[in-house]
Amino acid sequence: MIRKLLMLFLLLLAVAGIYFTASVLWPLDRPQTPDSDVSVVLRNINLVDLETGELRPDTDIAVRQGRIEAVGINLSAPGLQEVDGAGRYAIPGLFDMHVHSLRLSPVLTHPLFIAAGVTAVRDMGGCLGDFDSWIACAVDKREWNRATDAGAMVGPRYDQITSLPINGGSEIPSGWDLALGAPHAEGARQRVALDAARGIDFLKPYSLVPRESYFALIESARDRGMYLAGHKPLAISGFEAAAAGQRSIEHAFLFIWECYPGIEELRKQKNVRAAYTHETRREMLEQHDAEQCAALRRAMIAGGTAFVPTHTTRKLDAYSLDPEYRSDPRLKYVPAPLRTLWLADADSMAERAGVEGYASYRDFYEFGIEQTGRAHAAGVTVMAGTDAPDSFAFPGFGLHDELGHLSQAGLSPVEVLRTATIEPARFLGLEGEAGVIAAGARADIVLLRDNPLEDVQAVRSVDAVVLAGKIYDRDRLDAMLLQTARTANHWSMWPKFVWQALRSPIFRAQFAD
C-alpha cells in the first residue's frame, strides 16, 4: 500500500512538473502589425489643433513612410491612398509619462496602449545589467523601439530609457555592489558612471536616497548629460529638488506632504509608512500651508521641474472597498497573477486604513486632485502618467482615467490633452517631432469618433490609430483586445509569472522585506 501511494505521489509530481515546464515554455503569440506599410492622405478630418486650441474642420493629413508630409485643405497627394475621415477627430498620439514594463509587455500591455491611442511611454523602471527574467531592461526597450519604428511590432515608442530606481541600496539585486544604490556620495558617482556607460538617459531617485547621495547624483548626472526624474527623496525638500534641477517629480503626495508644517519631523522617520497614519493624514489636510505650496509652485516653475501626479494610484487608496471599482470590466485584460496582486493590494489598503482611515484616504485623494489644479493654474508643467501596470492602473485605458482626473482638477479639455502630447514632447526634447500633427512630425495619430474639445473623455472613442506607417482600424484594435484578453487568461500565465519572478534578482530584492 505504501509503495502504491509513493508511486502515485511520484506520478502526480511528474505530471505537475511536466505541466509547469510546458506552461513556462509555452509560446505566447504577439499581436501582428498590419500587413503592409501605407502612405495615405486622410481626407476631411476634424483636426484638433492643440497648439491653438482650435478645431480645423475638413483638413487633409498626408502621411508617407511613417511621417506627416503635409497638412492642409484639399491637398494634392499623388501616389497616396485616400482614406475618408469625415466625422472623425484627429489628435496626436498620446504619451503616458509614467509606466513600468515587464518582459511580457509585448503580449500583455503593448497592445492595450495602442488600442487606447497611447503611442509613446516613459518607462520609469529598469535593470542594472542587460537581462532580468521579470523586468524589461534597457536592451529590451531599445529592441522594442527599433521594431516599433520599423513597423514590425505592436507597441508604443520608448523615447528615453532609465535604469533601476535608486533607493539607498536595499533595491540592489544580489551579485551587485550595494554602493550602486547610492548609500553615500561615492556610490552615487559610481552609479552615474555605470549607467552613463550603458547609454541610460536619466536616473530615477526613490524615497530613501540620503541627502549627500542625492546631490552627488544630480551633479554627476548633469556632468554626463543625464538628469534625474522620479520620486523626491524624503530627505530632500521640494524646494531643494527644484533648485538642484530634478526634471520631474512623480505622484500626488508632493503638494500635500511638502506643504505640511510637520514635514521636517517626518523626514527624520526611518519607517515613513508607519508614521503615515490616519491622524497624520488628517493633520496634513487640516494644517495645509497654502502659502508654502504657492512658494513651492514658484520654485518648480523657476527650476523647470515638471509634475506627474498619477492620481490613478491614489484612487486605489480611496476606493479599495468599492465593489464597482474592484470589479472593473477591464480586469479581463490583466493576467490572473496580477489581478490577484491588485486585489490583495486593495484588501491590504482597506485593512490598514480602518473605517476612519478609509475616509481620510478618500479626502487625501480628492485634495491631491485639487492641488494639481492649483499647480497647473500657477504655471507648473503637469504631465499625464499612470504607473501602469501598478494596481488598478490599467495599461492604455488608465491614461484615459488620468486625463479624467486632470479634467476634474479644473484643466480645460485642450489643457488636459496637452499634458499627454505637447508637454511630454517638449520634456523629452521632441518638439516638432511628436505631440503635434504637423508636417515633418512622426505620423502618430489617433482618430476619435467624438470631439475631445467638448469633453476630453472623447479619448475613449478611438476609431483608428496611425503608428509608424501602419493603420490600426477599429476591427484590428478590437481583434488585438480580444487576443490580449485571451492571453491574459491563458492557462500558462500563473507558471510563467511565478517562474519569471522567482528567477528575477530585481523581484527578489523588491520583496526581500
The C-alpha atoms of residue 372 and residue 411 are separated, in whole angstroms, by: 9
What pLDDT, on a 0 to 100 scale, did the predictor assign at position 26? 67
Assigned C-alpha cell, 93? 498620439
Length of the chain: 513
Q: What is the pTM of this model?
A: 0.95
Task: Supply the pLDDT for residue 372.
Answer: 98
What per-residue confidence (pLDDT) applies to 15?
A: 35
CB 441 within 8 A of CB 432: yes
pLDDT at 351: 82
Q: Are 224 and 189 in contact (CB under 8 A)?
A: no
Amino acid at 241: A
What was the pLDDT predicted at 353? 77
Looking at residue 37, what DSSP letter applies?
-
Which grid coordinates are listed for 120?
A: 509613446
So what's the pLDDT on residue 356? 73
Contact 145, 158 (CB under 8 A): yes
Q: What pLDDT sits at residue 7?
A: 41
- Asked if residues 335 and 108 have their Cβ atoms less than 8 Å apart, the reply is yes
Walk along the chain (513 residues) in steps of 10 and give the mean pLDDT of each run.
38 39 70 88 98 97 95 94 96 98 97 98 97 97 96 96 96 96 98 98 97 98 98 96 98 97 89 78 96 98 98 93 95 96 90 79 96 98 98 97 98 98 98 97 97 98 95 97 96 93 91 55
**In 3D, which of 122, 146, 151 has the Cα closest to residue 425?**
122
User: Strands (DSSP E) along 75-130, which ranges?
Assistant: 81-84, 89-92, 94-99, 118-123
Element (H, E) at 41: strand 40-49
Euclidean distance between the first and final Cα of the chain, in Å?
Answer: 44
Contact between 376 and 415 (Cβ < 8 Å): yes
Question: Could you tell me the three cell numbers for 297?
Answer: 509652485
Q: What is the pairing mode between strands 202-203 and 248-250?
A: unpaired
